[in-house]
Amino acid sequence: MDAVWLSFLLLLASVGLMIVLHAFLVMCEISLVKFRYGKAKEAQMEALMRRPGLARLMENGDQTGRVVRFSKTLCTVAVGLLLLPLISDLFGLLDKDAAPDRWIVVLVSFVSAVSVHFFLAEILPRGLAMRDPVRAIRQSYRVLLAFRVLTMPVMLFFRVLKKRLYRRLGVDVDDELNPLDVDVQIRAMGEDSSQLSGVIRKIVNRTLQMQELVVQDVLLPRSQVIICDLEQATSANLATMKKAGHTRYPLCRGDLDECLGLIHIKDIFRKELSASDLDFMKLKRNLAVFPLETPLEEALERMLRAKFHMALAVDEFGGIVGVITLESILEELVGEIQDEFDSEEEQIVKLRGERCFRISGLTPIHDVEETLEIEIENEEVSTFGGLITGELGHIPKRGEQLACHGLSITIKEVDDRRVIAASVQVEDTACEG
C-alpha cells in the first residue's frame, strides 16, 4: 500500500471518528434535555443516578452544558480540517497526473462536511436520543466523561479569559445561559412553532415563570381570610358563609392561630340538619400546611396529589400568615379565573395620564412589578394592599398618601381590615382619575 492510500485511509478513519464522537455528544445533550423535561420514569432516573459518572453529569448541568458545547465545536472544527486533505488525497487517487484545483477541493470539502455532518452527526443521533433518551445516554455518556477530563485544562483557561472579556463588556458571567437549559428550549419552541396559539404560548411562558414563585407570592393574608369560628354561634357562622359565598372555610377557635381543619359548604348541605344540630367538628376536613418559601410548583404538586383545594401558609416561627388555594396557583398559569359570582373588576387598571394606575389591594406583588415594570424590594408581603399596610404600619384611611419603591400611592378605598384599592403614580408623572 503506497503512502497516498495510507494517508487517505487514516484521514477517512479520523473523520469517521470525529463524526461518531460528535454524534455521541449530541445523544448526550438531547437525552439530558429530555430528562430535565421529565421524559423519564422515576425508576429509570434512579437507575441512571446509580452510575457515578452519569450522576455527576446530571447534577452539574451548567458545567456539563459548557463541556458539550465546547466538545461539539472541537469535533466540528476537526471534521472540517481533516476533510480538506482527505478530499485532496481522493482527487489524487482518482487522477494521479492532474493536480486538483484548490478551490474545487475547498468547495467539495465544504459540501461534504455540511452533508455528512448534518445527517450523521446531528439528525441521526438527535432522533435516536428523542426516541429513547435512557438508552441513548447509557451508550454515550462515557464519551462525554472523557471529553470532560480532556478539555478541563482548556475550559479553565478559556473561562478565565471569558470572565475578563465579560468584565470589560459589563456582563456578569453568571448570567450566561446554560445550553442545556430546558426553559430556553421550551420558550424557543413556543415562539417558533406556528402550531401553538397565543393562549398556549402564554400558558407555556407562565409555566416557566412559576419556577421563580413561592407560596408567599399567591398568599391570601390572614386579615382577608373568612373563617368558621367555633366561638361564634352556628347561625352566625352560617350567615357569614352565606354572605361570603365561598365553598371552603378554615375551621378555627377564635382566629387562624388555632386552625383545626377545613369546613366545606357541601358537607353542610348533605347533612340536611338545622343550625342547632350542626357539629362543625364532625364535618371538618384536613388542611395542608406550607412554609412561605415553599416553591409554588411543589405546593401545586402536593395539593393535586392530596386533592386539597386550600392550604395554610406559615412563617419561620410556625405562625399562620394566611391561606393559599388551588385556584390562586392555577391563576398563575392561565390568568385570572372568574365564575358568574366573581367581580368583573380588573386588578390593575390604566388611568389617564402617563404611567398611572388604579390597583386592587389583592393584586399580587409580582403582578404589580410585571405590569408597572418596576422592582419592589419587600419579601415580607405578597399583595399590594399588604405592601401599603406594611409600609405605613397601620390600616390607612381613605385619601391617605405615601411614597415608596418609586411609587406615589393614594388610598382610594379601604375598610376596617384592608386596603381595597389605591391609585398609583410611577415616577414624576401626573394621574387623572
Check if the beta carbon of residue 275 is closer than 8 Å to that of residue 238: yes
Q: DSSP states of 285-324 as a string? A: B--EEEETTSBHHHHHHHHHHHT-SEEEEE-TTS-EEEEE
pLDDT of residue 84: 75
Instruction: Return left, alpha or beta for 11; rule: phi > 0 is left, psi -120 to 50 is alpha, else beta.
Output: alpha
Q: Is 206 exposed, middle or buried (0-12, 13-18, 19+ CB in 10 A)?
A: middle
Rounded CA-CA distance 105/89 in Å is 10
| CATH superfamily name and code, 215-334 | CBS-domain (3.10.580.10)
Straight-line distance from the first to the last Cα atom of the chain, in angstroms, rounded to the nearest whole number: 92
User: For helices 152-169 and 61-94, what crossing angle results, to 10°?
Assistant: 110
Of 206, 227, 208, the C-alpha closest to 364 is 206
Amino acid found at 77: V
Kindly give the pairing relationship between strand 220-221 and strand 320-325.
antiparallel
Rounded CA-CA distance 368/397 in Å is 22
Type and span of the H or E element at 358: strand 356-360
What's the maximum distance between 2 C-alpha atoms anywhere in the chain? 111
pLDDT of residue 361: 87
pLDDT of residue 355: 81
Rounded CA-CA distance 66/150 in Å is 14
pLDDT digits (tens, 9 = 90+) for 237-293: 999 998 888 889 999 999 898 999 999 998 888 877 787 788 999 999 999 999 999
Of 214, 242, 421, the C-alpha closest to 324 is 214
Rounded CA-CA distance 83/330 in Å is 55
- Please report, in tens digits, the pLDDT of each residue of the chain (433 residues total): 467 677 778 888 888 888 889 889 888 888 887 776 555 667 777 788 888 888 888 777 777 878 888 888 888 888 888 877 777 767 666 666 555 666 676 777 777 777 777 788 888 888 888 888 888 888 888 888 888 888 888 877 777 787 777 777 776 655 555 555 544 454 444 444 455 666 777 777 777 778 788 898 888 888 889 999 999 999 999 999 988 888 899 999 998 989 999 999 988 888 777 877 889 999 999 999 999 999 998 999 999 988 899 999 998 888 899 999 998 888 888 877 665 455 556 788 888 777 888 998 888 888 888 888 888 887 777 788 888 988 888 888 899 999 988 899 999 988 877 888 999 988 764 454 5
pLDDT of residue 405: 87
pLDDT of residue 415: 82
pLDDT of residue 253: 92
pLDDT digits (tens, 9 = 90+) for 193-227: 455 666 777 777 777 778 788 898 888 888 889 99
The pTM of the full predicted model, rounded to 2 decimals, is 0.46
Percentage helix, strand, coil, to 5, in the chain? 55, 15, 25
Strand order in the sheet with 310-314: 220-221, 320-325, 310-314, 288-291
Three-class SS state of 130: helix
* Topology of domain 348-426, CATH: 3.30.465
Q: Is 116 exposed, middle or buried (0-12, 13-18, 19+ CB in 10 A)?
A: middle
pLDDT-above-90 percentage for the chain: 14
